[in-house]
Structures are given as C-alpha cells and as structure tokens.
Chains A and B, each alone.
Chain A
Amino acid sequence: EVQLVQSGAEVKKPGATVKIPCKVSGYTFTDQYIHWVQQAPGKGLEWVGLVDPEDGETIYAEKFQGRVTITADTSTDTAYVELSSLTSEDTAVYYCATIDSGRPFDYWGQGTLVTVSS
C-alpha cells in the first residue's frame, strides 16, 4: 500500500523557517517525483514545486522561488519542503503528493498545517 505520511501541525513566528517531512512507503521512492502543494485557509490549491528523488533535481513555482527548498533523502525515503522568511501569508496546509501524469498513480499525504503568528 502506497502511503505518504506527513508530520503534525507547526506554529512559527514571522521570519522563521519551517521544514516539513513526507515519509514515503509502498513503492520505489526514486521512481516518482514528489510534489508539494499549498492550500491557504478557505482557498484553492497552489503548486509549490517538486523534487526528483533519483537525482535531487527540483522545479519551483516562481511565487516561492528563493524561499523554498525541496529535497529528498533516499536513505530514509523522505522528502522535505523547507520554507524560509515566513509571513502570515504562508499560513496554510502543505500537502506532499506523488502524481504521475501519464498513468493511474496519484497519492497524497494528509497535509501539515503551518500557522505563522507572532
């Protein structure tokens, strides 16, 4: 069974950095990209970026470029998203997902709520 398991909610102060893990199991970690998606309270889905666990290559949405780092640790089959210089606008649920555009393979984590508040 494929599973993506994320960590619990985080509360951070403005200007801080948050790093969220996504532990993968049930398939070969290096076979699929890991995507991260942001959902602000009551809002829609926004694609943050992805990592190719096979070689560590990343692609980021321009909105997050410069503040986001997505990595993959093949020794623990865990992907991470790190977001720095947090502001209240970063308050959101962050989902990791593995989405294969060309075949029926789509799995999501349960989401991690990040609250940025002073």
Chain B
Amino acid sequence: DVVMTQSPLSLPVTLGQPASISCRSSQSLVYSDGNTYLNWFQQRPGQSPRRLIYKVSNRDSGVPDRFSGSGSGTDFTLKISRVEAEDVGVYYCMQGTHWPWTFGQGTKVEIK
C-alpha cells in the first residue's frame, strides 16, 4: 500500500497568519493517464470530512481561495494563506492513484 506521511501532525497558528502542511507519498502518485490523484480533506470537530482539493491543486466547489494545493510526484503541500477561526480541524491528504486509497495521519490545526 502507498504510505502517506504528513507533517507536522500538530500546527498551532495565529489568526490571519499563513499555514502549510506537507504530505509525502511512498511512491509516485502520477497515474497512467498523466493525472496525479492527490486530495486534501478537512474535518472540522464533530463533522464529516469534506474535500478541499482534488488532483493536487483544484479547489472543490465552495472552498475559499485562501486554500491552495501544490506539488508533484511524491511531495505535496496544502497552504492556507490567512488562517480563520473556521479553519480549525484536522487536515488529511489522500491518494486516489493506487488501490487501496490511503490517507495521511492527519494534521491538527488549532489557533494559538
């Protein structure tokens, strides 16, 4: 199985400041069709997860533009340009290139 490794696992941030989460995969996530199926999910406390980013850098509907994704191959990053109070929660990367799909361990974002 592809192992997804996130860092940091805990991220205290100041409101209005940027935040960045790294995700590395144990093998390339480039699929045979040329696409890279790397997703980012947000899980707010007590809620179901929701996807923020698909195919590395594409925002899902309704996702604020302060969220952005980047990367290629095995190294990926989620950035929040200016953290807001509603961004508190756990963020997961997930690869959908290889079966089985696998998640990272999660990064807990909290306000300092």
Chain A interface (Cβ within 8 Å of chain B)? 35, 37, 44-47, 49, 59-62, 95, 97, 99-104, 106, 108-111
Chain B interface (Cβ within 8 Å of chain A)? 1, 35, 37, 39, 41, 43, 48-51, 54-55, 58-61, 90, 92, 94, 96, 99-106
Closest Cβ of chain A: how far from B67's Cβ, in Å?
A: 13
Please classify the interface of chain A as helix (H, G, I), strand (E, B), loop, or mixed, using the class held by over half of its residues. Answer: strand
Q: A-B contact count, CB below 8 Å?
A: 61
Known contacts A102-B54, A102-B55, A106-B60; decide if A46 and B103 are in contact (CB<8 Å). yes
Contact check, A102 vs B48: say whether CB atoms are below 8 A apart.
Answer: no
Contact check, B99 vs A95: say whether CB atoms are below 8 A apart.
Answer: no
Known contacts A45-B92, A111-B48; decide if A103 and B103 are in contact (CB<8 Å). no
Give 12 new A-B contacts, CB below 8 A, not counting A44-B103, A44-B104, A97-B49.
Answer: A37-B49, A45-B43, A45-B49, A59-B99, A60-B100, A62-B100, A99-B51, A104-B54, A104-B58, A108-B49, A108-B50, A109-B48
Contact check, A44 vs B54: say whether CB atoms are below 8 A apart.
Answer: no
Q: How far is the CA of A49 from the CA of B100 in the complex (A)?
A: 8
Residues of B within 8 A of A35 (CB): 101
